[in-house]
Amino acid sequence: MKKNQKLTIKEKLKLLVLNGQFTTYDLDGKISPIELSDGPNGIRKGLVEESEQVNIHCYPALSVLGNSWDREVIYNVGEAIASDCIDNNIDIILGPGINIKRTPVCGRNFEYFSEDAYLAGELASEYVSGCQNRGIGTCLKHFAANNREYDRLFRTSEVDLRTFREIYTKAFEMVIQKADPYSIMCSYNPVNGINASENEWLLRGILRRELQYEGVVFSDWGAVHNHALAVKASLDIRCPYSTNSELELKDGIKKGIINEVYIDESVNRILELSDKVEKARKKRSPLDDTDRYNIALRAAESGCVLLKNENGLLPIKAKKITVLGELSESPSYAGGGSAEVVIEKKRIKSLVQCIQEINPETEIYYEKLYSRENCTHRTAGVRVFNEPKGLSLAYDSELTILIVGDTFSEETESMDRTSIKLNAHLEKLICNVAQKTKKLVVVVEAGSAIDMTAWIDKVQAVVYTGFAGEAINEALANILTGKTNPSGRLSETFPRCLEDTPIGGKLENPYADRYKEGVFVGYRHYVTNNVPVLFPFGYGLSYSTFKYSNFNVKEIKKQEYCVSFDVENISNIDGAEVCQLYVDNIDMKVERPRRELRRFDKIYLKSGEKKKVSFHLDKDCFAYFNICYNTWHVDEGRYEIIVAKNVNTDIFMKKIYVKQF
């Protein structure tokens, strides 16, 4: 007898909505309740007071993890977050987020891995596996096409089928196949005119039938407009508790919108999830606290991107340096909204302290210089003070480090950025400091792409940390001093200006977001349309130098190839290289991007070490979604395989002819 046959209809209806904010019903002890928590980069559990002991960590934002391109690092972060959940009796963490960065102004871009679906799918699979292998479930979000925060509950995403499958659901498909997440969260926005929570084509059609997902679907918090329509669409649990839930369900039954068959489908999935969670609790084993911090540190280091390093200014060689900027003491370690993690201030060291611990003989001067408190792009902005003293220190020092960036009030849930430039006061400050020193390192703490054109040519080095979690300053100090070699690569393009992006800088329609650019999102747009960028997708510098050689492309069987090559570290510094492989369909029968990322690997090489890298290319590497056949399809013809340092810097290119079956 199925478990749900022992439940009354009233009990079944109760299961379809949360019991409060973050807990499922236990039906008076009949089933095990499930505890949920926000927190793709750490448990969202605020401190009541500074002295309170809460065993949580703030890990780098998913955008930083995306910049790491490191599967092992991200798997370990999943394990660490699971450990925090175990300590706090959490069963499912509401993450990771794998929405595509369609525009750099999206307020939640810091919560997402990439502008590329393949990269996002690969990395998110590691996060999910690391978390769930420790006995904590995940909730993949937000399904689907939630790529702006502006008016997200009502503004419909109008997207064609091919674009939807290739760009906006591909990462979900990959994670479902590779890691089988416990649950998925639907998005707030309507998709093609119908609310995601009640969209039968989206949930029952695409997610259940096409992507073959069998787990529980949660709504986003407050995303359900009509619970009966949501159940019909195959949404399982409405979040949070709503007094309207039972009334809407009963009314839906009365009107014939749903019946007990629909209800039982959801109830069965919820009961299966409850059983899975109960079994997982018995095998949980958390990592110790030191291991978790070290994971946060390694992830922050791995996702730190060196964007400019003129004349090898870094790592620091100077013995007398100046550190400027409030963020060096109170860094932007996380974004805002449901991903905000509040931790004890003592967890975060100042940058000056971190550098001195590595190089105690270095003479360091510090000036706060500005305050970001209560300032956003929408208010008066930065309050600058003691600029003359800061400029004087910069003039007298051998090297100056200026830390700037956005804060959690500027990059946050429920609102988009109004600009991708830094605050105008900060831009002016950078230029003023640059006039006083010829050795200026600018550190940028932000959640997405930044337009640096106003000042990039005036400074000698740029380091992009992102929102790198509680270990941000220690990781930054390690990078600046050379204790750690930078190895991050951009998982999103940095455009020269907002107007160069695929959808430009203006909101064309306040009621509908029309995805007219189709599949030409991110680097697919810039490369195909020959649009110059500030920094391309996959870009990042290292203190090491790598040499590629012995390229070989071998056909294994029809539509399958092996690409191999050697990578050697020819410098005297240990380092890591991100090897990237792109494919271009030369004889395209439908319009396609000039190149698409199909394989990557991050390899660590000691000085003088050489390793062989091999990539297996299957038919998926050459396929596009054919709307006529409603399936993935490979056209016969010439393709070009490109091994590259980034999407714009080719190392090896080879044309092949792919045959039809």
334, amino acid identity: A
Identify the bridge partners of residue 533 per DSSP, sorted by sequence position: 495
Query: Which residue among 70, 84, 116, 220 is the active-site one?
Result: 220
Buried b (16+ CB within 10 A) or exposed e, 76-109: bbbbbbbbbbbeeebbbbbbbbbbbbbbbbbbbb
Strands (E), 72-151: 92-94, 137-143
> Which residues of the chain are in CATH 3.40.50.1700 domains?
300-535
Identify the bridge partners of residue 17 per DSSP, sorted by sequence position: 238
What region, left, alpha or beta, does residue 307 occupy, with left being phi > 0 and alpha being psi -120 to 50 degrees? alpha
Band of pLDDT at residue 31, cut at 50, 70 and 90 = very high
Work out the average pLDDT over 295-319.
Answer: 98
Distances (CA, A) of 593 to 45, 165, 583: 43, 15, 9
Give the span between the Cα atoms of 492 and 280, in whole angstroms. 36
Give the span between the Cα atoms of 213 and 218, in whole angstroms. 13
Q: Report which DSSP code applies to 23.
A: B
Note the pLDDT tens digit of each residue in 458-498: 999 999 999 999 999 999 999 999 999 999 999 999 999 99
For the beta carbon of residue 259, count every other beta carbon within 10 angstroms.
Answer: 12
Band of pLDDT at residue 370, cut at 50, 70 and 90 = confident
- Contact (CB, 8 A) for 14 and 247: no
Residue 54's pLDDT is: 63
Please report where in the chains the tokens 């092996």 appear, as a residue.
562
- Contact (CB, 8 A) for 603 and 70: no
ω before 40 within 30° of 0 (cis)? Answer: no
Helix (H, G, I), strand (E, B) or coil at 661: coil
Looking at domain 300-535, its CATH architecture is 3-Layer(aba) Sandwich (3.40)
> Which residues of the chain are in CATH 2.60.40.10 domains?
546-658
Helices (H), 255-304: 260-281, 289-302
Is residue 220 flagged as an active site residue?
A: yes
Note the pLDDT tens digit of each residue in 47-102: 444 445 567 899 999 999 999 999 999 999 999 999 999 999 999 999 999 999 99
Residue 379's pLDDT is: 44
Q: What is the mean pLDDT of the chain?
A: 95
Pairing outcome for strands 533-535 and 610-617:
unpaired
Nearest partner of 529 among 547, 504, 512, judged by Cα? 504
Q: Rounded to 10 degrees, what is the CA torsion of 337, 343, 346, 351?
A: -40
Give the span between the Cα atoms of 207 and 184, in whole angstroms. 10
pLDDT at 377 over 60: no
Pairing outcome for strands 216-218 and 194-195:
unpaired
Predicted TM-score (pTM) of the model is 0.96
Residues 6+ apart with CB under 8 A from 413: 107, 108, 111, 149, 336, 337, 338, 339
Tokens at 510, concatenated: 């306040």
Give the span between the Cα atoms of 377 and 29, in whole angstroms. 50
Residue 383's pLDDT is: 61
Looking at domain 3-42+58-281, its CATH architecture is Alpha-Beta Barrel (3.20)
Work out the average pLDDT over 166-178.
Answer: 99
Q: 375-379, 509-513, 580-584 — which one is most confidently predicted on average?
A: 580-584
3-state secondary structure 130-154: HHHCCCCEEEEEEECCCCCCCCCCC
Residue 508's pLDDT is: 74
What is the third-level CATH fold of 546-658? Immunoglobulin-like (2.60.40)
Q: 362-366, 371-375, 376-380 — which one is most confidently predicted on average?
A: 362-366
Note the pLDDT tens digit of each residue in 335-348: 999 998 988 878 89
